[in-house]
Homo-oligomer: A and B are copies of this chain.
Amino acid sequence: MVAATAVRRVAGKEGGAVLSDRAYNAIAETFRALADPTRARIVHLLSFGESSVNHLAENLTVTPSAVSHQLRMLRQMGLVRFRREGQLALYALDDPHVAILFQEAREHVSDYLQEGRKSREWL
């Protein structure tokens, strides 16, 4: 019963309240969108600006088909939006939180590795 008092104060509005199942599902879904190396790379590339499907595919060394599938998922999860320009489909990040999430995870990984639990030569 260690954190019981904190957990039990189901406060009003923002703050220390336990959320609904639906909220946790939506939050987990957001993380799931970024929980794959290919999608993480897509999001990172898009943080530099909008990009076409083939351009992403070339940079990621994966087939345009695979990228298209992943972009569809990212679209459905509300992380990216796209517009057409001629034959091109130009994708971009949908809101600032997405880039912040990526940056925050990157810093967590950096801190984690700095504690000497793993090698760090890739940073």
Contacts and interface: CB of A to CB of B under 8 A. Distances in A.
- Interface on chain A toward B: helix, strand, loop, or mixed SS? helix
A97 to B, nearest CB: 4
Interface of A: 1-4, 6-7, 16, 18-32, 34-37, 39-41, 44-46, 48-52, 55, 59, 78, 88, 90, 94-95, 97-98, 100-102, 104-109, 111-113, 117, 122-123
Given A7-B59, A122-B20, A51 B112 contact: no
Given A2-B90, A95-B112, A111-B95, A40 B36 contact: no
Given A48-B16, A52-B2, A117 B78 contact: yes
A40 B20 contact: no
